[in-house]
């Protein structure tokens, strides 16, 4: 497979910029996921890579070959769309092989490639059916098969699972992961679903307003988000953010409320913090435990009193909506937790997992 370099790409519609200085190097065999809210520019960037949309400035290179001005058909890129885009009057076999047919690939070679990919995607039994006689998941696999038979240099996926039901989305995510592991393909994948991004990506690119907010592995963007936007966008339930004041000399955070609270930072966390006093204290839901978790008294766990407002059992665990210092927090508790809503209880904050953001710039200063 091939590498892809998106080099300082800008895209504007008249005076309206939609992509701003996008610079990403996609390594050969990498699964890169572009994620962000609607309108952030991720699908526009994918269209620019495919050649469907022109860029205002910058370059696109595949294996150091400049493809910026090349027509889509000359870029050796395969794209899978959200809407499947299958020919309704053609069988699955013909849909998958149509691009090869247009390239005058010999019939025997074409059939061999189709059979191989159909077996990989479990479509062999459906090769002679038309799209109208297939389920949504099968149609999406045909769309992927049409891309796979070409053996292109780069695969582009534009929210390919968004039209599927929840169960099928999970199944197709697994199939995509297996396909990538088997083929070692270079993939650029667009989604607004952070679960898809976390489970599929080698690296994630988080975008907002046409600007890259952070590039990193799933663990990096989850555990060390660059700013509050990344912290709240990646992770479900979202991170808890509470305004406070930092005292670097005492290595403490003060939280205002009915009874002001002082939280002590572990030395290794406090040592990394520099800068302003007005901050946002961030804590993931899984970093809040019950007092019965066996960590009471440990120096890096802060004990706090909070009211349990709502309990949401999910099966493997229970989400608790807490009221603390007149603010709402979410905690992820064990499924065996037997506490009741509308009761006050003692909880522990794992301060080893604390994140601290500059209240003015929203940047992570931990």
Q: Assess whether 43 and 19 both reside in one domain.
A: yes
CATH number of the domain within which 251 lies: 2.40.50.140
- Residue that finishes a domain, picked among 233, 256, 278: 233
- Residues 106-129 pLDDT 10s: 999 999 999 988 987 889 999 999
Q: Assess whether 54 and 150 both reside in one domain.
A: yes
Rounded Cα distance between 294 and 308, Å, is 20
Domain that holds residue 260: 240-358
Tokens 């979202």, located at residue: 238
Rounded Cα distance between 16 and 210, Å, is 11
329 - beta bridge partners?
322
Residue 294 has pLDDT above 70, yes or no: no
- Residue that finishes a domain, picked among 198, 216, 233: 233
Phi-psi region of 199 (alpha: psi -120 to 50; beta: other; left: phi over 0): alpha
- 210 lies in a domain? yes
- Residues 122-157 pLDDT 10s: 899 999 999 999 988 788 889 888 888 888 899 999
Q: Assess whether 209 and 269 both reside in one domain.
A: no
- The candidate with the shortest Cα–Cα distance to 44, out of 35, 53, 57, 56, is 53
Q: Assess whether 166 and 120 both reside in one domain.
A: yes
Q: Assess whether 108 and 124 both reside in one domain.
A: yes
Structure confidence at residue 26 (pLDDT)? 97
- Residue that finishes a domain, picked among 189, 204, 233: 233
Residue 192 has pLDDT above 80, yes or no: yes
The total number of structural domains in the chain stands at 2
CATH number of the domain within which 134 lies: 3.40.50.300
Whole-Å CA distances, 254 to 248, 281, 284, 298, 344: 11, 10, 18, 20, 22
Residue 232 has pLDDT above 90, yes or no: yes
> Where does the pLDDT of residue 227 fall: very low under 50, low under 70, confident under 90, or very high at 90 and above?
very high
Q: Assess whether 13 and 115 both reside in one domain.
A: yes
Q: Assess whether 189 and 170 both reside in one domain.
A: yes
Q: Assess whether 227 and 105 both reside in one domain.
A: yes
């Amino acid at each position: 497979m091939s590498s892809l370099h998106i080099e300082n790409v800008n895209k504007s519609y008249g005076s309206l910029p939609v992509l701003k200085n996008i610079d990403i190097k996609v390594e050969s065999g990498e699964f890169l996921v572009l994620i962000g809210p609607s309108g952030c520019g991720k699908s526009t960037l994918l269209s620019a890579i495919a050649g469907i949309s022109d860029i205002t400035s910058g370059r696109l290179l595949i294996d150091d070959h400049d493809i910026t001005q090349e027509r889509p058909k000359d870029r050796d890129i395969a794209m899978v769309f959200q809407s499947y885009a299958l020919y309704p009057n053609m069988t699955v076999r013909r849909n998958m092989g149509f691009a090869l047919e247009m390239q005058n690939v010999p019939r025997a070679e074409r059939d061999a490639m189709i059979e191989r990919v159909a077996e990989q995607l479990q479509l062999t039994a459906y090769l002679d059916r038309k799209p109208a006689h297939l389920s949504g998941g099968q149609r999406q696999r045909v769309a992927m098969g049409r891309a796979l038979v070409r053996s292109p240099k780069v695969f582009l996926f534009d929210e390919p699972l968004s039209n599927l039901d929840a169960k099928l989305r999970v199944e197709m995510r697994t199939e995509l992961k297996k396909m990538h592991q088997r083929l070692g393909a270079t993939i650029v994948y667009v989604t607004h679903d952070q679960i898809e991004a976390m489970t599929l990506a080698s690296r994630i690119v988080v975008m907002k307003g046409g600007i890259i907010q952070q590039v990193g592995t799933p663990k990096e963007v989850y555990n060390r988000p660059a700013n509050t936007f990344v912290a709240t966008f990646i992770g479900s339930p979202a991170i808890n953010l509470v305004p406070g004041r930092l005292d670097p000399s005492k290595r403490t955070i003060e939280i205002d409320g009915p009874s002001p609270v002082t939280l002590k930072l572990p030395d290794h966390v406090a040592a990394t913090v520099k800068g302003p006093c007005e901050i946002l204290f961030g804590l993931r839901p899984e970093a809040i435990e019950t007092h019965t978790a066996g960590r009471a008294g440990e120096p890096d766990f802060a004990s706090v009193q909070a009211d349990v407002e709502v309990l949401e059992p999910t099966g493997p665990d229970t989400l608790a909506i807490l009221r603390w210092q007149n603010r709402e927090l979410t905690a992820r508790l064990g499924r065996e937790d037997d506490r009741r809503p509308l009761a006050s209880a003692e909880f522990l904050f794992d301060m080893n997992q604390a994140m601290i953001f500059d209240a003015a710039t929203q940047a992570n200063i931990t």
